[in-house]
Amino acid sequence: MIARIFSGDRPGSRLLLALLLVIVISLACAPFLFHGAKALNVAAKICIFIVLVASFDLLLGYTGIVSFAHTMFFGIGAYGVAISLTQSPGDWMALALGVAAALAISILLSLAIGLFSLRVRALFYAMITLAVAQAFQTLASQLSDWTGGEDGLNFKVPALLSPGTSFAEDPFLGVSLDGKLLSYYLVFASACVLFLMMLRIVNSPFGRVLQAIRENDFRAEALGYRTVVYRTLSNVVSAAFATLAGVLLALWLRYNGPDTSLSFEIMVDILLMVVIGGMGTLYGAVIGVSLFILAQSYLQDLMRVLSSHALDVPLAGGLLAALFSPDRWLLWLGVLFVLSVYYFPAGVVGRLRARRASR
């Protein structure tokens, strides 16, 4: 039964299975295990980015397509919900229409990009998608009547998901049973369902063809598969999942702006997460996102503690305190990324599976 749920795609390593279980259980119990608004925001962000990074891995890891337009579809999902709920605050029908409109736009746009661009070579396709994404970000900033411009849009979610809604007078295990808690579990449950859907896709005959195209597109074409068609469909499916990730982000934040969902920095982060976790394996998205976002969120706090304790070290205390200054957290984040690539060239999941296979 469990194998069917995961589409027969086993982790392939006991250590990897243990890591995945720890992450899933931690996310499922996050409101009760980690108190505070920051911890809950980090957990929700991990859930959302697991969907986003896994959807990008459908392109890069499984089909071999390098695209820089993924955040555009992420932003379309977020803006679809934001614009719709700005017009009709707290309306479930408006939310559904926003999601449907965002999906329709993303599917049509990704279909057009795929049909017109996937016939060119990989590098040129990447440049085309980068140009389209930058143009869309500029458009979102300039259409201030619809998108709020650089200030973005604040909107009201349905009352059931609002933090002001309380379902019980007394807290349960120290946690208030309110709309914020329901919003988190909506994000968590949606992320689980979307991830399992992607697992099913990559382990289907369609997914096998995508992997064949990645390995040798000329041979796949010789076997009778229309590689352009399959690449285009992969682009559309990936865009749809990225759009739904944007929907979850907007519902959680109750805000959206160009820097929140369309920034090129987000695209760079997605690439880093895919490389850290391991390309061509959706489990890598779970590992890579968790490691990256935890480091991004708590590395500065850790360095602040190290810097304060470094002052007690004789002779070199001042040097160590300056070296571990919280202001240098980006430097150390870069160092950690370089080390992860050096020691895990195939990603964490690839390294663990190779280690298991060698045994």
Mean pLDDT of 160-170: 81
Q: What is the pTM of this model?
A: 0.92
Q: How far apart are CA 86 and CA 15, in angstroms?
A: 46
Mean pLDDT of 54-62: 90
What's the pLDDT tens digit per position in 83-103? Answer: 999 888 778 898 999 999 999
Mean pLDDT of 74-78: 94
- Most confident range (mean pLDDT) of 107-121, 153-167, 226-240 is 226-240
pLDDT beyond 60 at 117 = yes
- Of 338 and 106, the structure prediction assigns the larger pLDDT to 106
Contact 190, 251 (CB under 8 A): no
Contact 347, 279 (CB under 8 A): yes
pLDDT beyond 60 at 3 = no
pLDDT beyond 60 at 71 = yes
pLDDT beyond 80 at 318 = no
What region does 173 belong to: left with phi over 0, alpha with psi -120 to 50, or beta?
A: left
Mean pLDDT of 45-59: 94
Residue 238's nearest CA partner among 355, 66, 34 is 66
What's the pLDDT tens digit per position in 226-263? Answer: 888 888 899 999 999 999 999 999 999 999 988 888 88
Mean pLDDT of 110-134: 79
The count of other CB atoms within 10 Å of the CB of residue 60 is 21
Domain boundary assignment for the chain? 29-263
What's the pLDDT tens digit per position in 293-316? Answer: 998 888 888 878 777 776 666 655
Backbone angles phi, psi at 12, to 5 degrees: 85, 5
For residue 216, give both structure tokens. 């040798």
Burial-class residue 354 by CB neighbours within 10 Å (0-12, 13-18, 19+): middle
DSSP string, 4-60: HHTTT---S-HHHHHHHHHHHHHHHTHHHHS-SHHHHHHHHHHHHHHHHHHHHHHHH
